[in-house]
Amino acid sequence: MTLICVASPKGGVGKTTLTANLAYTMQRQGFNVTVIDFDSQDALKLHFGIAFNDPQGYVSEATSNPFWHEMVRTTSSGIDLLAYGHTTREERYRFESFLANDPKALYQALKGFYGSQDDVLLVDLPPGHSIALDAVCQLKPLCITALLADSASLAVLPSIEEGGFYPESIDRHSYYVINQFDLRSELSRDVYALLKERLGASLLGSVHRDPAVSEAHALQVSVLQHAYTSAVVNDLENIAHNLVRLMPDAALLQIRQEGE
């Protein structure tokens, strides 16, 4: 199994949409995909045909049920989902304490997902620093940092490069995607050129801005289904292809070593 997390030091970069679209793309390439939402906004499920007023999720039971794979919902697309769910403040605090206080708790909770090399576990993290980010990074995932081709993303990049966002343990497993790249904007083109040169081989690709992405979200379907001729589909396939090339060298979780 390959563990992939999608994170960003800033909000509003389309991180959750990117996570969902990568899940659909990886599934299309033949992988068995599970997505997990660690963001209390509980928005990831909207991309998989589940209504926002559906309260079901794993967080409220996560600390009492160590077998998270038992709480998975298989969506109509065939992708398995652990939605965050509707929670109380107390349940959220208890969940974060669970992640923070026992460094092996998350490993044990995810152990049931570890199967073949065709299994991919995609994690959508909250924006910015979080307890969930620190906990997931202990498992040495492939980390995708979602940025925009704008001045704000350019401004936060040094803090990422200097180790101010991710723990040191995942430095060589950290990669980037430039999301919502707008060819019509001169600023977007200029910033993208700077980021591309600066990030080099750690840049997995970019995703063009296209209204079809928002339309697919509104319809609660995959953009691959809604607008298969969109440039975004090709962008996502290129990013997924680059991820697949990294998988043999990724820090695949070794059950015995991490579990001891």
CATH of the domain at 87: 3.40.50.300
pLDDT of residue 260: 41
What average pLDDT does range 122-147 have in this prediction? 94
HSE of 195 in the Cβ direction (CA atoms, 13 Å)?
30
pLDDT at 240 over 70: yes
Phi–psi pair at 162, nearest 5 degrees? -90, 10
Contacts of range 238-245, beta carbons closer than 8 Å, 24 or more positions apart:
238/205, 239/22, 239/25, 239/177, 239/204, 239/205, 239/207, 240/22, 240/25, 240/26, 240/29, 241/29, 242/204, 242/205, 243/4, 243/22, 243/26, 243/142, 243/204, 244/29
The neighbouring-strand residues paired with 9 are: none
Task: Name the residue with higher pLDDT: 170 or 195.
Answer: 195
Q: What is the pTM of this model?
A: 0.91
Q: Which DSSP string corresponds to 162-183?
A: TTSSS-GGGGGGEEEEEEEE-T
pLDDT of 195 over the 70 cut: yes
Give the pLDDT score at 258: 42
* Mean pLDDT in residue range 189-209: 95
The reported pLDDT for the residue numbered 125 is 97
Average pLDDT over residues 33-57: 95
For 115, the domain range is: 2-258
Cα dihedral 186→192→195→200 (10° resolution): -140
pLDDT confidence tier of residue 169, bands split at 50, 70 and 90:
low
Q: What is the mean pLDDT of the chain?
A: 90
Average confidence (pLDDT) over 53-67: 93
Q: Given this model, what pLDDT does residue 229 score?
A: 87
- Which residues are registered as beta bridge partners of 208? 181
Q: What is the mean pLDDT of residues 166-191?
A: 87
* Count of domains observed in the chain: 1
Whether residue 255 is predicted with pLDDT greater than 60 in this model: the reply is no
Q: What percent of the chain has pLDDT over 70?
A: 93
- Angle value at C-alpha 96, between 251 and 76, nearest 5 degrees: 65
